Amino acid sequence: MAVTDIPHPELYTDYYQLTMGQGYYKIGIHEKKAHFDYFFRNTPFGGGFVVFAGLADLLAVLEGYRFTPDACRWLENKGFDHDFCRFLGEYRFDADIHSVREGEPVLPGEPVLTVSGSLLSCQLIETLLLNILNFQSLIATKAYRLRQACGDRQLVDFGLRRGQGAGSVSATRAAFIGGITATSNVMAGYRFDVPVSGTMAHSWIQCFDSELEAFRAYAALYPDQCILLVDTYNSLESGIPNAITVAKELEGRGHRLIGVRLDSGEPHKMAPKARKMLDDAGLNNVAIAVSDQLDEEKIAALVGDNVPIDLFGVGTRLITGHPDGALSGVYKMCELDGRPTMKYTDESSKSSLPGVKELLRYADSQGRFTNDLICLSGESPDSPGGEPLRRIFMESGHALNMETDLEKMAEYCRTRSGQFPDRIRRMLNPDRFPVELDRSLKSLIEKLKR
């Protein structure tokens, strides 16, 4: 089950969203026009930017967002006011959403997405919005880093069994935007048309009297999709020799062994020895896949040392966003009833930007990104020629410009991330990409502080 399958998305929230909503209703300000920004404060994994993901899922949920009679009865039984619950029963989400595209690299502090509508609509969806966008953007960013490490090698998601419940389906969606090649997650393949891939588990080998018999049985069933797991007993003394035997038998029948998978041991040592054994047997086209607790640092080291690996399977550390586990995305009011508002707190890092804003990106003559600018909507920016990063994706609760093709999102991510300078894109200690505030926005901030 993904978020879009939840039967009561109106209850997929924190309790205080509903108590505040009832408060707005009872004091008569629930229909005032409000604007809320979604942004994040820090990049995860020590990276240079975040790959934005989750927008299409959010829009799909919000299009059908309403309070069912069941939900209204439950809320009333929990002590919510009868009139408010009756109002909720007739309520429909009515806001606009301006956002960057999925796959866009974005920076801390930037208004990535803005919800504009009645105060009640903006408030009720806060938790739902943060849950979807924070998680998917985190996983898309992790997948992007893994893709950076892999280069042009295959990258497969093996994370379903280690993921946070049903959220693993959404995680695989996000990971594809970030750069995975395929997934073992059948539900994600079904839901999002992501390529599915897999080999076998050790239990298959253990079902037979010998490893060779197990390999032969699998190859007979899947002669054109055969990848053999070679580490059940001893990868180099048993697994690879038996795989070579089966590969030769497949060739004799007009087929070929696709690859072998190493799921234990030290890949720096094992993969070169496996490659030599396969090559000495004339099986140069048999790929080597490696799994077992991989992350971008381990993969980068293997690739940097030219270890002969063709496919990396990453599970736990992709699907859980290891080691960070969460994106620091927040959702703050920036204007109410035409009055700019901001959070200015004792901890300056937790402040927010006031007013309805635009986000512009600038590039040099070669198309390399140079800086972003946040400016007030309707004001002429300090510097002309910036590319507006946001556009309208929802109007009065109806989705517009809906993008659902994950291949296009993944390609967009590759193209856009490639336009950043190398010093911003590097995995370790990247430079900070300049995000500037327009003079008019700075003036507004100073005015509100005073």
Residue 231 has pLDDT above 80, yes or no: yes
Q: What's the rounded Cα separation, in Å, for the pair 79 and 330?
A: 29
Q: What's the rounded Cα separation, in Å, for the pair 391 and 359?
A: 10
**Residue 28: how many other CB atoms lie within 10 Å:** 8
Q: What's the rounded Cα separation, in Å, for the pair 127 and 365?
A: 41
Question: Which amino acid, 185?
Answer: N
**C-alpha dist (Å) from residue 402 to 37, 49, 54, 411:** 20, 24, 12, 17
| Helices and strands (H, E) in the chain, number of each type | 17, 19
Q: What's the rounded Cα separation, in Å, for the pair 405 and 407?
A: 5
Q: In percent, how much of the chain has pLDDT > 90?
A: 92
The structure tokens listed for 239 are 């697994």
Give me the pLDDT at residue 387, please: 97
**pLDDT average, residue stretch 110-134:** 98
Q: How far apart are the first and last CA of the chain?
A: 49
| Whether 314 contacts 146, CB under 8 Å | yes
Q: What is the pLDDT of residues 254-266, one digit of tens each?
A: 999 999 999 998 9
Q: Which residues contact 397 (CB under 8 A, 6 or more apart)?
A: 62, 63, 65, 92, 93, 94, 95, 117, 121
pLDDT confidence band for 7 (50 / 70 / 90): confident
- Counting Cα atoms < 13 Å in the Cβ hemisphere of 245 gives 14
0.85 exceeded by pTM: yes
Give me the pLDDT at residue 16, please: 97
- Polymer length in residues for the chain: 450
Name the helix (H) or strand (E) containing 32.
none
Residue 3 has pLDDT above 90, yes or no: no
| Three-state secondary-structure class, residue 377 | coil
**pLDDT average, residue stretch 403-413:** 96
Phi, psi of 23 (to 5 degrees): -65, -45
Name the helix (H) or strand (E) containing 136.
helix 126-150
Q: What's the rounded Cα separation, in Å, for the pair 287 and 146?
A: 19
Q: What's the rounded Cα separation, in Å, for the pair 384 and 363?
A: 12
Closest CA to 291 of 270, 273, 267, 307: 267
| Whether 36 contacts 136, CB under 8 Å | no
pLDDT confidence band for 2 (50 / 70 / 90): low
Q: Which residues contact 378 (CB under 8 A, 6 or more apart)?
A: 356
Q: What's the rounded Cα separation, in Å, for the pair 62 and 58?
A: 6
Closest CA to 54 of 113, 115, 121: 113
Q: What's the rounded Cα separation, in Å, for the pair 4 and 7?
A: 8
Closest CA to 135 of 2, 278, 46: 2
Give me the pLDDT at residue 292, please: 84
Give the per-residue SS3 of 264-302: CCCHHHHHHHHHHHHHHCCCCCCEEEECCCCCHHHHHHH
Q: What is the pLDDT of residues 14-59, one digit of tens each?
A: 999 999 999 999 999 999 999 999 999 999 999 999 999 999 999 9
Say if strands 113-118 and 105-106 run parallel, antiparallel, or are unpaired. unpaired
**Mean pLDDT over each residue of the chain, to the nearest integer:** 96
Q: What's the rounded Cα separation, in Å, for the pair 419 and 409?
A: 16
| Whether 389 contacts 100, CB under 8 Å | yes
**Residue 379: how many other CB atoms lie within 10 Å:** 15
pLDDT confidence band for 5 (50 / 70 / 90): confident
Give me the pLDDT at residue 164, please: 85
Residue 177 has pLDDT above 90, yes or no: yes
Q: What's the rounded Cα separation, in Å, for the pair 179 and 155?
A: 8
**pLDDT average, residue stretch 88-107:** 97
Q: What's the rounded Cα separation, in Å, for the pair 109 and 135?
A: 18
Give me the pLDDT at residue 1, please: 54
pLDDT confidence band for 306 (50 / 70 / 90): very high
